[in-house]
Amino acid sequence: MDIIRNPKEFQERCWNWRCAGLNTVLVPSMGFFHEGHLRLMDAARQRAGSAGKAMVSLFVNPTQFGPSEDLAAYPRDFERDRDLAESRGVDVLFAPEPEAMYAPDAGTWVEVPSLSTGLCGVSRPIHFRGVATVVSKLLLLAMPRAAIFGQKDWQQLAVIRRMVRDLNIPVEIVGHPIVREADGLALSSRNVYLTPEERRLAPEIHAGLEQAREAVQAGEASAERIVAAFATHLAKKIPAARIDYAQIVHPDSLAPLECVDGPALMVVAVFLGKARLIDNMLLRT
């Protein structure tokens, strides 16, 4: 596996591969890999095939962190990440420094306001502007045939899909199912912030989503009642938790729904100790 830190070198390598007709697949990441990241790499390796190239970017993007967020504290372990990526058959690990990705006077942003202002965008108002900008840069550098993102960050995935569509970027955006621990907790680099007791209780978030899906399957259609039941469940099972948001939305437009009578996604963000945990579940497809 090659490690490339210079964006121009990475771009030349990737464009040469694409011009040669190779099947190239990118997994964008911020590192501190867990099993969820590794499953994305496995999917990239499989999708690229034995003759193609699987690429992973490892970049803790400063522009998607607000002033009071955890950029400095975000977990990092480059040596471990390097070894894990290599063990999954990755061909190139792109790991630039921030100053290589952003000029000192950089002033260009990519935004998808219609999908970015609600949900996580309420408490993280600049987050998706940073995400859309850095992902567009990564896609233009790598120009992959496909890029794979986890569905745990469903809003992020929706933003990226809309951005790629609107800007006619020639890449297929692939959503990969959420990878969970055996007890249901969605894997996240921020799970390291949980204390042992918080970690024991955190799976109740997923349990509450499961109950919401079961309620819909039993005939419940009121989004208000489903969300209220989730809040009641969390208050009973994790009294210390604080709900940032819990909503039922359309999976593509992210528009809030009042009635679950068609495609519906329940999305939640919950503060638990030092961690802010997000999760989601399709209630109807």
Query: Do the beta carbons of residue 273 and residue 195 sit within 8 Å?
Result: yes
Residue 190 known to bind ligand:
yes
Task: Report phi then psi at 177, rounded to 5.
Answer: -55, 150
- Hey, what domains does the chain have and what are their CATH numbers? 2-176 (3.40.50.620), 189-279 (3.30.1300.10)
- Reading phi first (left if > 0) and then psi (alpha if -120 to 50, else beta), residue 116 is in alpha
Helix (H) and strand (E) counts for the chain? 11, 9
pLDDT tens digit sequence for 73-123: 899 999 999 999 999 999 999 999 999 999 999 999 999 999 999 999 999
Q: Is 37 annotated as a binding residue?
A: yes
Over 90: is that where the pLDDT of 68 sits? no
> From CA 188, how far away is CA 185, in angstroms rounded?
9
Query: Residues 136-180: pLDDT tens digits?
Result: 999 999 999 999 999 999 999 999 999 999 999 999 999 999 999
Q: With cut-offs at 50, 70 and 90, classify the pLDDT of residue 69.
A: confident
- Residue 167, annotated as binding a ligand: no
Q: Give this prediction's pTM.
A: 0.95
Contacts of 26 (CB under 8 A, 6+ apart): 44, 55, 56, 57, 138, 139, 142, 144, 146, 147, 148
Tell which residue, 275, 273, 206, has the closest CA to residue 234.
Answer: 206
Note if 250 is an active site residue: no
Strand partners of residue 80: none
- Which amino acid is it at 67? P
Of residues 73 and 272, more confidence is placed in 272
| DSSP three-state, residue 267 | strand
**What confidence category does residue 228 fall into, taking pLDDT thresholds of 50, 70 and 90?**
very high
Mean pLDDT of 36-49: 98
User: 143 labelled as ligand-binding?
Assistant: no
* The predicted structure's pLDDT at residue 50: 95
The residue count for the chain: 285
Q: Consult the annotation and say whether 99 binds a ligand.
A: no
